Chain A
């Protein structure tokens, strides 16, 4: 392969060099620079200084809360998002456009508004909280509340990534499976799900990333009790408010690494699925 072929494919659009430069510059300025400054600041703490700040029980407990709730919320979103995306892609019904518009609402709504609304709804005297209270179920001010808030903000990611892929899937595939004698369950598991899995994982990864970083909607409904119902981003804010800049930076770096590792894991899983699918 020649050097130029390694660098670019011939294109009718000119300007490969300027557009690549713009891309790298923009990404560098917007994404890499702030992260680099943060990591550099954390590095300034020294190896042992960093670990002392990070290995505090409260930090580890909150990290666990953050990761656990984000994973749980994304997993639940994946299931219900799949169903909603399926209905939207496959069926035509009155009010479909309204439903379609509603899905994007969590994107558009300020997250604090969502948090206040959810807290009001699930609080022990709220419309839903009051119904659940007699059964001993409390959502607001517990981990469950965090999961509910994260489910709210994560849902559109799943639906919007799955919907076009489902729409592309020919209904003939299911019919072919049926003609070959497959039961509906077999059709779903072996014929429908595999081609949708990469998109589902992409949606899951996006929802997870969003969930790990979410702050606004969570703090109103979470109890914010350290190590039980406090998310890590809140701890960062708390430390910043106390002018504990090194502590905040160390936690932020930890979060960055955790998010990064989770996303890499999801991507590897996705690559594996694609290979299984022969793509």
Chain B
């Protein structure tokens, strides 16, 4: 009973600017999919086209094989939750939730019954008589969701559903939505620019940039095998180090080895996540600490060597135990990373130089640590 969404060749240009550049995407029935990308990547436009709020120049959107573009938005059976909720402020919570049923001429008694059930579902039983202005952000979000669910949509779409909420409410709502989806199994697509949110919630994450899908897969797949440097960088902080590769050895342009990679000789860029840099005090070390910034449980360590600046992140407890502080001389061990050669399209893992034996196992281990 869940709906499969199939999108092929979706293209849209606005004022000469290409917004969507040939999107092909299938969302299996009942799956929770995240469209992840920076602002201006086209992810919201894509969502609005599935809903029918925007029209593509070319391409097709099918719901269970039937042409969704042929129907206006109000007949697609799509539940849409807007970023700023778009609750009707002159209506009570109960009337907001019942609106979609009222316009369908559902009998009043049936509407009341259904609204009561939905209020229970979103845990707002006693707030049916309130107005949106009297609710907190998290409560408004849940009302918006209940309103979208009231029409029993085939597809549920959410635009940056937690964007306007503070961190704690966001986390709670995220878990709650995940549970709700597990119970209801409506095909759901949500848009976010927050990779943590995408990874925590979604069965499948679709990374969008420049109007194209850069990669799609389970959160683990994306993290372990990023398709390109954009995906890698977007899924977490990364140091970018210009380098050259000589016979499998990766050497920073600043003049020291970083590790090994199975890439042909040539120029390229190495990407190192801050947590992939191990720092230990060493009088004769080649690195210098430029700054230590403790921000809660983890600390950022600024490192410099031969004109190259990197950022490492360590547990604050470890920073204290090692006694790391600015201007200290240290040694840095690179435990993993990624190398993209200028000539190659796909990235290769950066392997620590010390682990010469059984490189593929070392690689696995490092990537899992990441």
Q: Could you list which residues of chain A lie within 8 angstroms of chain B, going by C-beta atoms?
A: 170, 172-173, 175-183, 186, 190-191, 194-195, 276-279
Contacts and interface: CB of A to CB of B under 8 A. Distances in A.
A175 B74 contact: no
Interchain residue pairs A-B with the least CB separation, the first 4: A180-B100, A277-B90, A172-B86, A278-B131
Nearest to A169: B89
Given A179-B73, A190-B88, 5 more contacts: A173-B86, A173-B88, A176-B86, A178-B73, A181-B74
A279 B132 CA distance: 11
A183 B51 contact: no
Interface in B60-82: 72-75, 78-80, 82
Contacts of B78: 179
A278 B131 CA distance: 7
A180 B147 contact: yes
B103 interface: yes
Nearest to A195: B90
Contacts of A190: 88, 99
Contacts of A181: 74-75, 100, 103-104, 151
Interface string B19-62: 00000000000000000000000000000000101000000000
B91 interface: yes
B92 interface: yes
Given A181-B74, A181-B151, A182-B103, A176 B88 contact: yes
Contacts of B73: 175, 178-179
B280 interface: no
B84 interface: yes
A186 B103 CA distance: 8
B84 A170 contact: yes
A170 B86 contact: yes
Given A277-B90, A278-B92, A179 B51 contact: yes
Q: Chain B CB within 10 Å — which of A173, A177, A180 has the most?
A: A180
A181 B150 CA distance: 11
Which of A170, A175, A278 has the most chain B CB atoms inside 10 A of its CB?
A278
B88 A179 contact: no
Chain A interface, DSSP helix/strand/loop, else mixed: helix
Interface of B: 51, 53, 72-75, 78-80, 82, 84, 86-92, 99-100, 103-104, 131, 133, 147-148, 150-151
A181 B87 CA distance: 15
Contact of B84 (A172, A177, A191): A172
Contacts of A194: 90
A276 B90 contact: yes
A178 B74 contact: yes
Nearest to A277: B90
Contact of A191 (B88, B131, B147): B88
Contacts of B100: 180-181
Nearest to A273: B90
Contacts of B147: 176, 180
B134 to A, nearest CB: 8
B90 A175 contact: no
Given A180-B147, A181-B103, A183-B103, A195 B82 contact: no
Nearest to B104: A181
A190 to B, nearest CB: 8
Given A175-B53, A186-B103, A278-B131, A180 B151 contact: yes
A278 B91 contact: yes
15 contacts: A175-B53, A175-B73, A176-B86, A177-B88, A177-B99, A178-B53, A178-B72, A179-B73, A181-B100, A181-B104, A181-B151, A182-B103, A190-B88, A194-B90, A279-B90
A213 to B, nearest CB: 33
B80 A179 contact: yes
A194 B72 CA distance: 25
Nearest to B99: A180
